[in-house]
């Protein structure tokens, strides 16, 4: 297993519904929070195919947002039963389903999309955005004025390397080309090991890039950019304490205080096949974006 310190997002499950301090596991997945917080009645689930389950959560009021620690918006998660890229035909089905969801979550009359690959391409587990960008077809230069949805793409890099805030780069480009929608892709962290490279989350609530590096950066959202933002991500790392907790089963709570004294809260783990997982997940997202705006 590969270990990463401060890789992704410093977001915790809030202390609610009986969760104690030892249960504050990191997660970017809204579904993790709602399942853990016993708010399952809010989750609308649909079995799309034998191996694909769709879960949709609408956070439409401030109270629910505060309780769960998630911004208001739509959160759609596709959970795949098993490793999707080892099952014949499943990858193609997933691409088409994500494409349909991307289209549904796009604003009506969408004419131009700016695709933003977030994360650090120098770290495998954090390179999902950069890899996905490679699969997206840039059409802005060839179809402008022809009634097509135009796609342009940028790779802002990370503040630690460029010295430029991701938000500033995206804001500057968005002000110049004035897209109808910004699609931001990034690696996510989960508190449930079963979701590692087996779940895809789409959210209209925006995203905060680089927050796992110790300081929250200005988020990419409609409020900050003046343009709708669709965040797409895949959990590729997991809070190691959550892995231990799940392994211990019914005895977990008894030992979590001792474990937390030894294992720092900012330690996350990625599967050994992370390079393969990133490549396949990036391909699915990139091709789904292409398909969404070509049909």
| Residue 121 phi, psi dihedral angles, 5° rounding | -70, -10
Q: Per CATH, is 2-292 categorized as 3.40.50.620?
A: no
The span from the CA of 168 to the CA of 177, in Å, is: 14
Burial class (CB in 10 A: 0-12, 13-18, 19+), 288: buried
pLDDT along the chain (295 residues), means of 10: 34 39 72 85 93 96 91 97 89 96 96 95 94 94 70 90 91 96 96 95 88 61 96 95 84 78 82 96 97 88
Quote the pLDDT of residue 76.
98
Q: Measure the CA–CA gap between 53 and 51, rounded to whole angstroms.
A: 7
Judge if pTM exceeds 0.85.
Answer: yes
> Within a 13 Å sphere around the CA of 230, how many CA atoms are in the beta-carbon half?
24
What's the pLDDT score for residue 36? 75
| pLDDT given at position 143 | 62
From residue 116, how far is each of 13, 55, 179, 267, 269 by CA, in Å? 27, 25, 12, 27, 25
């Amino acid at each position: 297993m590969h270990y990463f310190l401060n890789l992704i997002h410093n977001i915790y499950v809030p202390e609610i519904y009986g969760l104690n301090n030892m249960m504050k596991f990191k997660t970017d997945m809204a579904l993790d929070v709602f399942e853990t917080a016993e708010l399952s009645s809010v989750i609308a689930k649909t079995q799309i195919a034998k191996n694909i389950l769709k879960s949709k959560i609408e956070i439409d009021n401030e109270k629910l947002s505060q309780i769960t620690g998630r911004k208001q918006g739509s959160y759609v998660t596709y959970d795949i039963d098993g490793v999707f890229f080892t099952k014949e035909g499943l990858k193609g089905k997933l691409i088409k389903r994500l494409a349909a969801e991307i289209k549904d979550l796009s604003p009506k009359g969408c004419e131009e999309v700016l695709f933003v690959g977030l994360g650090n391409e120098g770290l495998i587990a954090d390179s999902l955005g950069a890899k996905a960008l490679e699969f997206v077809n840039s059409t802005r230069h060839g179809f402008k004025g022809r009634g097509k949805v135009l796609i342009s793409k940028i790779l802002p890099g990370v503040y630690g390397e460029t010295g430029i805030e991701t938000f500033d780069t995206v804001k500057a480009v968005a002000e110049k080309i004035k897209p109808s929608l910004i699609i931001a892709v990034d690696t996510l962290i989960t508190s449930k090991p079963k979701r590692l490279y087996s779940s895809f989350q789409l959210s209209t609530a925006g995203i905060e890039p680089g927050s796992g590096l110790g300081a929250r950066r200005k988020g990419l959202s409609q409020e900050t950019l003046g343009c709708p933002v669709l965040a797409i991500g895949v959990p590729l790392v997991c809070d190691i304490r959550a892995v231990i907790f799940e392994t211990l089963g019914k005895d977990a709570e008894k030992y979590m205080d001792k474990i937390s004294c030894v294992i720092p809260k900012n330690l996350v783990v990625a599967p050994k096949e992370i390079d393969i997982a990133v490549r396949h997940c990036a391909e699915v997202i990139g091709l789904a974006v292409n398909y969404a705006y070509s049909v």
